[in-house]
Amino acid sequence: MDFTRKVTIGLVSACLAVVIPFSAAAATADIKKVGGFDTRIITDFETLSGQTSDTSEIILGTKSTDGVDFSVKTGYGIDNSNALVLGETTAKGFFAEATYQVSKDEDAETEGLDGATDLLFYVNGGGEPDGIAFMPLFGEWDYDEDGNAVMEENANTGNMENAITWRELGDAVDTVYYSLADGSTEWVKHTGTSGRYLSLDTGFKGYVKIGFDNFDVVWSSNDVNDKVDLKHIVRFSFYYGMYARHQDAGYAIAIDNIGFSGDLKEVAVDSSNTTSKNEITSTNPVTGDMVGNTVIVTLLVSGLVVMLAETAFKKKRNA
Ligand SMILES: [Ca+2]
Ligand SMILES: [Ca+2]
């Protein structure tokens, strides 16, 4: 954005006199309109330049040793900004996982999500020659009916840790999601998924929006109070089939502007808090890693089943 700074010194002084006391008191969490819906963006990846799944605590998932390149790069996001790019280098056909670990990102904007009804994110599918298909998943702390965090023992360490509710996109003919292509004002309704994978047109660039009702709680986790709380979000993950088919090495699809939309309220953000608002402390062990790995293995296996089923189907069809 270009700001023309034709402001007189007198006016600057007047503004500062008013603005400083205000901003010291409270900032307001941004509400942004995306296709007509109130939205809060948790990350736009602008502070995460260069982070890769090989070395980062915030970008996790499949590593470069598996022939992929999952990293935050400039130019692949909305308006050529930063985005999490999922790319293949030498991978020859498996289901890979790219994760943005919210709970490790001190710049994540996680306030004011009461009233959220939908997960929303931006997709740049420009590196994919044959249509786009992937599965989103997110994890958050589990709470009981009284609003207390559910704790569970880590079988490896014996420590009590926050239980995590993992939600994956529903595998059903009536699973619904919406897409809003760049430059369009009309959300397009899509119905049905295949092996929990949503599909978008070849070359799609724009937002995807999915109501919480269209997610399933992963079988290995629980949602004790039976609702999406969004009090402590752990991760967003994207599962994607990696094949040697992409035109540009290191670029199949990119994900940007991950957030939530719904009936969001204006909330004040406590700017006086100098410690991390995402509760990153050394005494808090990495939560849910074991659960997360179980999920990943489950998904990889279910992905493999889908792939084998598709192969069998194609063979049958070609026979
Ligand atoms: Ca961005
Ligand atoms: Ca819950």
Q: 122: which strand partners?
A: 207, 256
Gap from CA of 256 to ligand 1 centroid (Å): 5
Which tokens in the block code for residue 316?
């049958």
d(CA 218, ligand 2 centre) in Å: 13
pLDDT digits (tens, 9 = 90+) for 261-296: 999 988 887 654 434 445 443 333 333 333 344 444
- Looking at all shown ligands, the one closest to residue 74's CA atom is 1
Q: Tokens 């330049």, residue?
A: 49
Between the alpha carbon of residue 14 and those of residues 8, 10, 168, the distances in Å are 10, 6, 51
Q: Where are the domains of the chain?
A: 27-318
- Which ligand is the nearest neighbour of the Cα of 83? 1
pLDDT digits (tens, 9 = 90+) for 219-264: 999 999 999 999 999 999 999 988 777 778 889 999 999 999 999 9
pLDDT in tens, 77-114: 999 999 999 999 998 888 999 999 999 999 999 999 99
Q: Which residues contact 274 (CB under 8 A, 6 or more apart)?
A: none
Mean pLDDT of 179-186: 97
Distance, CA of 318 to CA of 71 (rounded, Å)? 38
Q: Which ligand is nearest to the CA of 41?
A: 1
231 CA → ligand 2 middle, Å: 9
- Span from the CA of 315 to the centroid of ligand 1 (angstroms): 41
Q: Angle at Cα 107 formed by Cα 50 and Cα 148, nearest 5°?
A: 130
Residue-averaged pLDDT of the chain = 82
Give the span between the Cα atoms of 92 and 243, in whole angstroms.
Answer: 5
Ligand closest to CA 217:
2
CA 192-196-197 angle, 5° bins = 80
Q: 């049958």: which residue's tokens? A: 316
Report CA-CA distances (Å) from 122 to 161, 232, 257. 32, 22, 6
